[in-house]
Amino acid sequence: MSTGSLPRILRPLRAAALTTLLLAGVAACGGEGHKSSASDASTASPKSAEPRPSSAAPADKGAAGKGSTSKTAPAEEHPGDGPLKGKVVVIDPGHNIHNQDHPAEINRQVEAGNGRKECDTTGTATNSGYAEATFSLDVAHRIRRILQAQGATVTLTHDGDRPYGPCVDERAEIGNKAHADASVSVHADGAAPGDRGFHVILPALVKNEQADTSAIVGPSRELGERIAGNFVRVTGSAPSNYVGKGTGLDVRGDLGGLNLSKVPKVFIECGNMRDPDDAAQLTDEAWREKAAQGIANGISDFLHG
pLDDT in tens, 17-53: 333 333 333 333 333 223 333 333 433 334 544 443 3
Supply the pLDDT for residue 80. 75
CB atoms within 10 A of CB 170: 18
| Mean pLDDT within 129-142 | 98
Strands 265-272 and 182-189: parallel
Distances (CA, A) of 165 to 26, 50, 77, 162, 264: 35, 11, 21, 7, 21
pLDDT confidence band for 118 (50 / 70 / 90): very high
Question: 120 pLDDT exceeds 50?
Answer: yes
Q: Is the separation of the CB atoms in 287 and 66 below 8 Å?
A: no
Residue 57 has pLDDT above 70, yes or no: no
Cα–Cα distance for residue pair 238/300, rounded to 1 Å: 21
Q: Is 76 a catalytic residue?
A: no
Class assignment of domain 37-61+80-242+251-304? alpha beta
Confidence class of residue 60 from pLDDT cuts 50, 70 and 90? very low
Point out the catalytic residue in the list 222, 269, 285, 289: 269
Report the alpha-carbon distance of residue 262 to residue 211 in Å, rounded.
9
Task: Classify residue 244 by its DSSP letter.
Answer: S
What is the predicted pLDDT for the residue at 117? Answer: 96
Give percent above pLDDT 90 in the chain. Answer: 73
CA–CA distance, 224 with 237 (Å, rounded to integer): 16
Q: Domain extents for the chain?
A: 37-61+80-242+251-304
